[in-house]
Structure 1
């Protein structure tokens, strides 16, 4: 089965937005006052999650090949972005089931997969029990053990800082199965709490958190918990491999949280700026405010480009997702947080008050979003993963090695991508990253778009500057010898530069494979005159330490004008026309 990715907001996404808009009315579960009260009370958003269950969002957590509706990962990202646009806590609380079940999609048996898929479709909550109190992201230091018994396995130990550990019906648990540990010393088990005796597990207390205060962040301790042989997911000793492949999918999907947060923050900032009067005029009339708004929208569009190409790569370039997912998970939350910080500057004191502006939604959003960069590997963890691939990335760039068909599919938004197939994921991108390695060829194609009058000259100038910086970057990466520990700070700086180059390459790929949207007189407001592309490439140049030039500032001004005209709008590269966001 192949599902065509749809360029505009898909009908199911539009349906979800309509449902949430109704629920956001006064007295509804998604009304800002209701969400603020839940946050103050640190209460789980039961009614919100129940509404999403009724909608059937959990169907999109199950791959289409297993009877669910998850075919194109980009569609799931769009749906979760819609939820996060209203409230990050709800998105985190509900989507955890996808994260919990993904190890089964990667390595589960036919019977195990079918059983889990049916449970999730029926609304079962699945949690992912990876981390432990004293070891954090160091999965090879995990102490929870699984010991063989005559009939199966016995679990002993605890998992901590686990989302939905208490509320979850099932848990995917990473356990040490070899006392010596090591890469082959861990396995994954699917634990059905209903099948355990009451004295075999104990919940750890809810952890009080600065953000996502209503989520069930807690833990669980097992004491002699007896599991059947069928609880083992995949072969014994393959737990780390399964988790690392699963993380490629979850990290990609997690970008939805930052995209939704960016949408929400943009509305709050634009709404404040267009309604607040200062010095006898509206705040949005001040040049500095317009710069913040325009630059913020540019950053949001840049994040969207990275997230969309990475999500479509799950079907189009699955063997390279180990790179694209690490890049996306490091780049998107970090860029979104920078934007939230700038919007906080714009809103000022009212960003910190809980009653004065929009029920304190900006302060809650800012607190909630900080966890997005930590979920499923922090930014340093993802950069460490990327650093391990430097050799193949440098060689691939030098050889101009790229899967042209896969790259085109990842970027051509109206073309279908293959259904998600976790068996195609790899632990190493042996051929590198096609999106970046095709950059020189993509720049040449951009020159053709400029000659045809579809793009303005400054786009090509910026693209060529980035191509020069990309060549320099790969030359700096080539001598690096990966080290499992004590990674030098310089390597992390190289990784950060690589993320920026990937972002530019993703933008340029979207440009050349959707060039019809640049046509003169077209109704795509963000695409007209290359507006979004000019802003995004300038943003990349700034991230690479370069002066983006006056055209970027002009593009920011044009974006700010769009925001001033429609402060409550939703701005997306996926908009089909100027009316689609109203």
Structure 2
């Protein structure tokens, strides 16, 4: 069960590090101080399942903790959270003895890296050239892994290596490499790569030359390494959405505070229609990303057999929506979105650069959309049949409530049931049409249902392909938006009474803004007329003012967010702005 006090405690433990974060970014130094605070707080315990002595029994809780860090400094989270990503394969397929040993290492603060990519193969994991050869002493490892997050700093690495036929799904195995075990000279760290964003993070590599591993280093069965990676990715891709939602929250707070305090001709930007529409539209997109990510995080437990769909959806969707939020807010901030030492220590340009990596690691957006394309026939049949795991879906949208234990054996490479969330749209649209709801919400639900049905028909006529055409990728993107819209509607229906009276929930502001933004993007992808803009004036002004007030006081700026520290002083005082204006 999620615990707001835990998020608040983590937020307090982070302290006010904005200036220091900017200094580390400028000098490209590793965020060691902030990572140490995360260790002292005990964040690594939430990377280890409870059966091996950790505190990981609720992926919504982990999502919320990661988001708390991401809205402060995405670089620090990318560096620290890699341990969860690196160890996930051990939790999925490792022996009890290996899992216990790995858990002890993680709990003692040892970083873990996930060594998948190679210089000449990138996301083509089956094309990997690193080999593991069986010997009488165990396994001999040869080859180069690069670029790898924490390759140099990590004490343990999960390495995918070829143990059979090249290019074969059964030709690769996974190994847990303890860097202290192989003989000296049989492996070497590769230099840190300089990066545009996450500048201080250890993006480096490792090269093996006859490194001998014990037989116990094998994770799972020989030849099943690729399958284990795909199953572990369902967990890690889902959780990566927290990085985007946290970065989006940081961007929205910066943009809203600027719009509320920046005066042009003696009038705040927020009092003008266009800036207010930008803030409202960004709030809608971020609310949609948060809704999709929360439902997916809870689906890890309650809709585990559908995770091959939901994990690919949110890994592609969340970075895409948040990139759009950042792009629009950059226009609003103007020069202050680009300057490195102006406006809250240049935080905006840093988070913009840092966030660009989220769409790339753990499977890029095209990779995840390609994964969805392979499941089009099942998704189309599910939409046509309207099949829904009612109990699992109800648990997925019961945000903040206890979750059933995760059954990792239920992780499957393909979802036989399609996606219960999207497939629930027809019944949900009918329910909302039959009950009193806020102006336009039932109509928006009907439009989303119609869009999903059209997408299902198009998917039924688009067969799986090893090299999907661009039209198939656009169709996958449209399906992602339907997933987000369904998440918004399901969460609204389940949670409205609980949040009644909160500023973002009054008059259905956040859900109407989210659906408006999603339907517009769906229409663009399907090349259909955009939805009517009627009623925009009743959303933009009130929602923008609510977001600005929340950003100024530290109240949540997303429908399911937690409070954050308010700025210690106004980021741009009116008298300073007037002085700037006179100087120009």
Give the 3 Å change call, closer, same or farther, for CA 526–581 of structure 1 in structure 2.
farther
Note the C-alpha offset of 1:449: 3.5
Give deviations 1:459-508, integer Å, cap 9, x for gaps.
00010011111111101110222111x21111011101101111111111
**For residue 508 of structure 1, what is the aligned residue in structure 2?**
489
8 A Cα contact 2:285 2:518, kept in partner: no
Say which SS state the counterpart of residue 544 (structure 1) adopts.
helix
Deviations 1:342-401 (A, max 9, x none): 111011012111122111111111000000111101111110011110000001111111
Tell me which of 239, 245, 256 is aligned to 2:225: 239
| Residue 336 (str. 1) matches residue 344 (str. 2) | no
Query: d(CA) in 1 for partners of 2:434 and 2:401?
Result: 22
- SS of the residue aligned with 2:180? helix
Q: Does the C-alpha gap of structure 1 residues 145 and 158 become closer, same or farther in structure 2, counting only changes over 3 Å?
A: same
Structure 1 residues 552 and 425: alpha-carbon distance in aligned structure 2, compared to 1, 3 A threshold? farther
Q: How far 1:414 sits from its partner (Å)?
A: 4.3
Of 538-547 and 567-576, deviating more is: 567-576
Asked if the contact 1:130–1:159 (Cα under 8 Å) also holds between the matched residues in 2, the reply is yes
Task: Provide TM-score, normalisation by structure 2.
Answer: 0.93
Q: CA deviation at 1:448?
A: 3.8
Pick which of 248-257 and 556-565 moved more.
556-565
CA distance 1:200–1:575, shift in 2 (3 Å) = closer
Contact 1:517 1:527 in 2 (8 A): no
- 2:527 is the alignment partner of 1:543: no
Contact 1:274/1:567 (8 A) holds in 2: no
TM value normalised by structure 1: 0.93
CA contact (8 A) 1:66 1:113 kept: yes
Distance 1:11 1:335, change over 3 A: same
Deviation at 1:566, TM superposition (A): 3.4
Q: Distance in 2 between matches of 1:429 and 1:229?
A: 33
Note if contact 1:538-1:548 (Cα within 8 Å) is conserved in structure 2.
no
Cα distance change on mapping 1:408 and 1:350 into 2, 3 Å:
same
- In the alignment, what sits opposite 1:159? 145
Any idea what the Cα deviations from partners look like across 1:174-233, whole Å, max 9, x if unmatched?
A: 000014340100000000001122201111110000000000000000000000000000
**19, 33, 37: which is aligned to 2:19?**
33
Tell me: CA distance 1:396–1:51, structure 2 relative to 1, closer, same or farther (3 Å): same
The correspondence of residues 308-387 of structure 1 with structure 2, limited to 5 A, is 308-387=294-373
CA separation of 1:552/1:403 partners in 2, compared to 1, >3 Å: closer, same or farther?
A: farther
Q: Which residue among 421, 440, 446 is the counterpart of 1:464?
A: 446
Deviates more, 1:126-135 or 1:287-296: 287-296
Q: What do residues 249-287 of structure 1 show as CA deviations (whole Å, max 9, x unaligned)? A: 111110011111011111111121222221222222221
More deviation in 217-226 or 278-287? 278-287
Structure 2 residue 281 is matched with structure 1 residue 299:
no
Matches within 5 A, 1:366-445: 366-445=352-431
> How many angstroms apart in 2 are the aligned matches of 1:99 and 1:580?
26
Q: Separation in 2 of the partners of 1:496 and 1:409?
A: 26
How far off its partner does 1:580 sit? 9.4
Q: Structure 1: which 5+ residue stretches go unaligned?
A: 25-29
* Partner SS state of residue 416, structure 1: coil
Match of 1:82 in 2: 68
Q: In 2, Cα distance between the equivalents of 1:315 and 1:238?
A: 24
Report the RMSD for the aligned CA atoms in angstroms: 1.5
**Equivalent residue number for residue 469 of structure 2:** 488
Which whole-Å deviations, capped at 9, do the CAs of 1:545-581 have from their partners, x for residues lacking one?
A: 22252234522322101123333333232259xx999
Partner of 2:8: 14
Which residue in 2 is equivalent to 1:102?
88
Q: Could you tell me whether the CA contact under 8 Å between 1:178 and 1:185 is conserved in 2?
A: yes
Q: What is the CA–CA distance in structure 2 between the aligned matches of 1:357 and 1:516, rounded to whole Å? A: 39
Paired residue for 1:529, among 499, 503, 507? Answer: 507
Cα distance in 2 for partners of 1:348, 1:10 equals 35
- How far apart are the structure 2 equivalents of 1:217 and 1:449? 53
Q: Is the 8 A contact 1:73 1:420 kept in 2?
A: no
CA contact (8 A) 2:126 2:166 kept: no
Change (3 A) 1:367 1:480: same
Q: Is 2:550 the counterpart of 1:566?
A: yes
Q: Is the 8 A contact 2:290 2:560 kept in 1?
A: no
The Cα shift of 1:71 comes to 1.1
For each residue in 1:134-190, what CA deviation from the matched residue of structure 2 results, as whole angstroms up to 9, or x when unmatched?
A: 111000100000000002100000100100000000000000001434010000000
Q: How many residues align?
A: 558
Partners in 2 of 1:56 and 1:243 — Cα distance?
27
Change (3 A) 1:552 1:242: farther
Q: Of 177, 181, 186, which aligns to 2:163? A: 177
What is residue 27 of structure 1 aligned with on the other side? none
Question: Which residue of structure 2 lines up, in the alignment, with residue 135 of structure 1?
Answer: 121
Seen in structure 2, the aligned counterparts of structure 1 residues 562 and 140 have a Cα distance that, compared at 3 Å, is same
